[in-house]
Chains A and B, each alone.
Chain A
Amino acid sequence: MTLCTRPWGWLGWLPTLFAMPCAAADDPALRKDLTSALALLGTPCGQVVQATRQRDNDHLVTCQDGHRYRVFLNEQGRVVAQKR
């Protein structure tokens, strides 16, 4: 269990409703990387303004133009952008 989902002290009995996905620290390099990857894929985005890591090589991305994508590496090793 990661730090982000570990129950906080005596609040541990609270339901997992309060568990939050582990958000990546604001990483401009990651946002730039995902912006370039989306541009290469030809998906409309402009610029990535927020990137939230869900797991390794799997991010939820919010773009400047309002589009949201899940950008991840599939089993075949391909970078995929799924619209959310």
Chain B
Amino acid sequence: MPPSAQAAATAKRSAPVQAHVVAPVLAPPQAPVQALARPQATPPLDLQSLEARLKATQAIGVFTKLTLKNQIDDLLAQFRAYYRGQLKVTLTALRQSFDRLVLKVLALLQDADPPLAMAIESSRESIWGILSNPAKFAAV
């Protein structure tokens, strides 16, 4: 067989192989996408543990911890007053206050105690779920 014919035959044989090789690479894998599409399970909220970690963290000093505690207590007092009908604010406004406070906490912790910052960030919606539910809030 002449070399050109040989080369053509080789190319012909390898084309389907190349296609088979290329196709799986180009085709998006199904199983991993399905796994990613499944919603991530929210870790169970452990408020007591978060509180204990916040009290114990070396990332912030005593005055900062006390100031944070004051502001958390103030926010909780706002929620109590809201559920008693004594505070003329919307839940949206309380959400903004909550988000601002969480942001302050994260800003204080993110450099010196990243695991605690991540734990608080990942608990944000669970904590809001408690605060925004009168029955759950009353049980806290």
Contacts and interface: CB of A to CB of B under 8 A. Distances in A.
A29 B61 contact: yes
Interface residues of B, number: 12
A34 B64 CA distance: 7
Q: Which of A34, A73, A78, A79 neighbours the largest number of chain B CB atoms within 10 Å of its CB?
A: A79
B109 to A, nearest CB: 11
B66 interface: yes
Interface string B57-74: 000111110111011000
Contact of B64 (A36, A77, A78): A36
Contacts of A32: 61
A60 interface: no
B124 interface: no
Closest 9 CB pairs of A and B: A33-B61, A37-B63, A36-B64, A79-B67, A40-B67, A37-B67, A33-B63, A37-B64, A79-B66
B55 to A, nearest CB: 14
9 contacts: A29-B61, A36-B60, A37-B61, A37-B64, A40-B67, A40-B68, A77-B66, A78-B66, A79-B66
B102 interface: no
Contact of B70 (A29, A34, A71, A79): A79
B104 interface: yes
Nearest to B61: A33
Interface in A8-44: 29-30, 32-34, 36-37, 40-41
Nearest to B108: A36
Given A37-B61, A40-B104, A41-B67, 6 more contacts: A32-B61, A33-B62, A33-B63, A36-B63, A36-B64, A78-B70
Interface in A45-84: 57, 71, 73, 77-79
